[in-house]
Amino acid sequence: MRSEGRRRTFVSLALVSPLALFLLVFFAAPLYTMMAAAVSDPIAARALPQTAEAIRSWDGETAPSAGVQAAFAGDIRNIDDDQLFGDLVRRLNSAKSGFRTLMSKTRSALRDDPSTTDLVAIDARWADPAFWQAIRSAAASTVTDRNLLAAVDLERSPAGRIQAMPEGTSANGTTLVRTFVVSLIVTAVCLVIGLPYAMIAASVTGWRRQLLLAAVLLPLWTSLLVRTAAWFILLQDNGLINSALMALGLTSAPLPLIFNRVGVVIAMSHVLLPFMVLPIFSVLIGIPKNLMPAAASLGAHPLRAFREVLLPLSTRGVVSGSLLVFMSALGYYITPALIGGAQDQMISSVIAYYATGAANWGMAGALGLVLLVATIILYTVYLRLSTDERVRQ
Amino acid sequence: MNESFIRFDKVSKAFGTLTVVDGLDLDIGKGEFVSMLGPSGSGKTTILMMLAGFENPTSGTIRVGGRQVDGLPPHRRNMGVVFQNYALFPHMSVAENIGFPLKMRRVSRAETGERVKRALDMVQLGHLAERRPAQLSGGQQQRVALARALVFEPEVVLMDEPLGALDKKLREQMQLDIRELHRRLGLTIVFVTHDQTEALTMSDRIAVFNHGKIEQIGEPAAIYDRPATRFVAEFIGETNFLTGTVTGVGGGHATVDIGNGRSVAVLAGQGLAAGATVGLSVRPERVRIGAGPARSNTVSGTVEDVVYHGDHLQVVLDADGQTLLVKADRAGSPVAIGDRLDVSFAPDECWVVGS
Amino acid sequence: MKALQLSKVVFGAAAVFFLLAPLAAILPLAFTDSVFLNYPMPGYSTRWFSELVSAEVWRRSIVNSLIIGSGTTLLATALGTLGALGLRGRTSSYLFAFVRTAFLIPMVVPAVVLGVGMQLMFARYNLTNTYLGVIIAHTVIAVPFVVINVLAVLQSIDPRLEQAAASLGAAPHTVLARVTLPLALPGIVSGAVFAFATSLDEVVLTLFVAGPNQRTLARQMFSSIRENISPAIAAAAFVFIVGTILIALALNLSRKSLGRRPAA
């Protein structure tokens, strides 16, 4: 009679399959495409098939043999798609500068004389092994770790060793560090406000609790754009906050609150505060009301009772809330984009820049992968915590 | 019991490694009211669920009216089920709830209205037809559930602890009402309960379950007076359970030594031999204070406790290491803790159950 | 003890002020007659609301938001409700636990990451710069809210109600139509509202997959704040906040009336 169970499983599978399929195609596949873009490097291998074959036996020290040069010349002659040629030049130039002029010169020379294969005669730079090393590494494989390494400010030396990029060539590492720092500050601010807030909300009853909860939920339900616009209005140089400060005589000139780190932290903390308060609150209201009186009856001073009883019991809520806030802050785009200055852009802004501004899908994908992995790790920890909780209850 | 209408044939049910029903053989006659009685986890509800089609047996077959019903989905079994918490549809009115099974059977609108009205009158709720279940009291919901399970005139009515959520007074009233409906409509009812009084009051037969097996099945009086096992004796009502050794057998009776050389005469079934260790069951209300007439068994002991129960007193007696409960009349002579007391019971009121 | 009480009140009031003041600050500016989004307001007018309806970019974006929001709500509610029905009562199975997590994960993936992937992939299937593309993108992140809401209400339904219906002669599809779905309706409705709200507020994915013709209200607000901020933003924010409150009220009412609908 196992068939009954199997029939139920089949029905359940049939019910979940439309959504599963939808998410596979429109959620998992885009993420996969993004990750593939991060490591994909097919241009050189596609444009230079004969060269890739011939250069394999090259020793890498001296100028390559005539055979390799002939293969390369043949490949270049075979490229009639200008777009492909442009991509190839860009790809090679990103590995070693100088390719741009070298390639266009070589291509026109090879076109003018359909029989020549002597590249060094066209340009003396073809005698330099460095150019050939770049071609070999580009053509050798259709995948690359270049973007992933660049995402954390690393590169490969010509010999293939991973090394730090020269100072000042990439700002990705700085952006990553900044993203983590801003997220940590926002998490700390949310914790400092959110923990006492949740405790107060859990300790009162009636309309007071309703008010405190409504004050958390109303912003949560309000459009993120509206909240960001509101902060934009409040924080600007002649905005309400600066007007008030100046009217009170606390400052003579407007404080710089917008387009800098302060504004980003204030606005993001406001937006993410509910995610800190709600998990802590839900843990706190699960704690029996009579524990604090019990601690008092056993001789604990209220502050002592708080430290020894309430605080340890609320740890799980604090950890869940902090993870939630930190995880959300890492991927934030809109608030820093609108409230922050050029020096406050977080990793999401850089990804968006690479994708929409520079059309550098490789870098966008690589940074996206870093952000995705960080988020998934944090989410897994969060899930583990909340399932533990369910098991314990 | 007349000829078998519902037949369980070596039915077993396991969830994973846990066997809940173990090789059940059971026949239920048409028009019979059978109670399944047992502690929770004894398998009685699972048997009901298999009969209704919500669970399938792991092995064995179930027949109803000669037709094998295994694999038949619940909605094609034509059985009325009354659930523990009534399971009334909260989004439908009382009338819609009762009309639901008729709608499923494509009964015409006019006839549905007529039959719903009759069903409501039967449970005396005609005036509440348009209410929602949430607006009814527990007892009223119970009646609606009953009317809904009966309105389509099912072959069998299954009830799963239907009275468990009612208070004592209402429960006793409903017991009588259901029994009266059973008699009037000639229904075949399978009734699951863990309440022995309920089973004794209502049933034609009782099946006592323990660990997925039937310990004993029979008419209420037989179950009560002639319990087959210690489990049945203790589960149904209160009992004194004495142990002893058989010293002699003869004439439908046996003599049992219950310690300290004191012998009692008891009713004995077949196959009892001298030297066997046996258990004896004596109901507390069958034990009288004071020495009995000739041939009755007299035991003496020290009063350990006297508990006031309103209509009677419960006396706890220590008879040389064996504890005896006595249900004593309040009108009798006063008994105090520490008193030495003789009590007696007739041989016909003591039953050997095996230990 | 007194000092503790007092500090509780002061802190609570300050925090509530921090949470609500920004929302309160933006609302009156919707009625300014100045072109500056700032206080003090020289006078009152409804010109910015007229701007919202008359200016082509704003009007268009409101219409787009309604089109895309409705499409997202339909698609997400249908897919999410089916998914939740399939996941119901499947708590002990590892396979379905995995499916459940997979259904919820679009909620946590950073929008920019998803946006990059969608732009790349949607371009291949000519879905960028189409309404369908934007609706699909919004549905991906709206569907977890439907699953959560519907699953929660399904788990609160006593399975004995469905057993009762079956025992009374209802075939499985009848049980679904007459018992399960009517009882799950409040959860389906709130899931749909969440889906609509998610779509309405979505900016990042819209930036990546929508073309100029699919510019939504939120997307229009985003560029307006970025490029030329005007009180039209406050008017749009006013519409948003009032809309939020109305939806919350409607949800509350529908829950109550679904709870005790008069007999039909």
pLDDT at C84 over 90: yes
- Per residue in C143-196, pLDDT (tens digit) is 999 999 999 999 999 999 999 999 999 999 999 999 999 999 989 998 998 899
Which of B72, C139, A303 is CA-nearest to residue B64?
A: B72
pLDDT of residue C25: 86
Question: Which chain C residues are within 8 Å of A212, Cβ to Cβ?
Answer: 12, 16
Using an 8 Å Cβ cutoff, are B74 and B52 in contact?
A: yes
- Per residue in C94-153, pLDDT (tens digit) is 899 899 999 999 999 999 999 999 999 999 999 999 999 999 999 999 999 999 999 999
Would you state the structure tokens that stand for residue B108, as one six-digit string? 């015409």
- Per residue in B268-299, pLDDT (tens digit) is 766 677 888 888 888 888 888 887 777 778 88
Asked if C10 is an interface residue toward chain A (Cβ–Cβ < 8 A), one would say: no
Q: How far is CA C201 from the centre of its chain?
A: 7
pLDDT of residue A392: 45
pLDDT of residue A307: 80
For residues A357-368, average pLDDT = 88
For residues C211-215, average pLDDT = 91
pLDDT at A146 over 90: no
From the list A9, A193, A371, the residue facing C110 with the nearest CB is: A371
Asked if A352 is an interface residue toward chain C (Cβ–Cβ < 8 A), one would say: yes
Quickly count: other Cβ atoms within 10 Å of residue B130's Cβ: 12
What is the band of C256 on the pLDDT scale with cuts at 50, 70, 90?
low
Question: Which chain C residues are within 8 Å of A364, Cβ to Cβ?
Answer: 116
For residues B191-209, average pLDDT = 93
- Is the CB of B87 less than 8 angstroms away from the CB of C160? yes
- Is the CB of B70 less than 8 angstroms away from the CB of A1? yes
Tell me the C-alpha to C-alpha distance, in Å, between residue B159 and each of B162, B168, B185, B220.
6, 18, 16, 18
For residues B146-157, average pLDDT = 92
Superfamily of domain C68-260: MetI-like (1.10.3720.10)
- Per residue in B50-89, pLDDT (tens digit) is 999 998 899 999 999 989 998 888 999 999 999 988 999 9
Distance CA B98, CA B151 (A): 7
Distance CA C231, CA C91 (A): 50
Asked if A335 is an interface residue toward chain C (Cβ–Cβ < 8 A), one would say: no
Reported ipTM: the value is 0.90
> Which pTM value belongs to this model?
0.83
Which of A369, A390, A370, A388 is CA-nearest to residue A380?
A: A388
Asked if A329 is an interface residue toward chain C (Cβ–Cβ < 8 A), one would say: no
- Is the CB of C112 less than 8 angstroms away from the CB of A352? yes
Pick the residue from chain C with its C-alpha nearest to A363: C116
Question: Which chain A residues are within 8 Å of C115, Cβ to Cβ?
Answer: 352, 355
Using an 8 Å Cβ cutoff, are A154 and A163 in contact?
A: yes
- Is the CB of C112 less than 8 angstroms away from the CB of A368? yes
Contacts of B217 (CB under 8 A, 6+ apart): B26, B205, B206, B207, B208
All partners of chain B with 3 or more CB pairs under 8 angstroms? A, C
CB pairs under 8 A between A and C: 232
Where do the domains of chain C lie? 68-260
Would you state the structure tokens that stand for residue B158, as one six-digit string? 């299954």
- Is the CB of A4 less than 8 angstroms away from the CB of B56? yes
Which of C52, C56, C1 is CA-nearest to residue A301?
A: C1
- Is the CB of C83 less than 8 angstroms away from the CB of A211? no
Question: Which chain B residues are within 8 Å of A4, Cβ to Cβ?
Answer: 56
Tell me the C-alpha to C-alpha distance, in Å, between residue A229 and each of B188, C55, C232.
72, 20, 11
From the list B91, B93, B101, the residue facing C182 with the nearest CB is: B91
| Chain A closest-CA separation from residue C113 CA (Å) | 5
Using an 8 Å Cβ cutoff, are C253 and C180 in contact?
A: no
pLDDT of residue A238: 81
What is the rounded average pLDDT for all residues in chain B? 88
- Is the CB of A227 less than 8 angstroms away from the CB of C221? no
- pLDDT above 90 covers a percentage of chain C that reads 58
Question: Which chain A residues are within 8 Å of C103, Cβ to Cβ?
Answer: 16, 19-20, 23
From the list A233, A273, A331, the residue facing C26 with the nearest CB is: A233
Query: Could you write out the DSSP letters of every residue in A18-71?
Result: HHHHHHIIIIIHHHHHHHHHHHB--HHHHH-HHHHHHGGG--SSSPPPHHHHHH
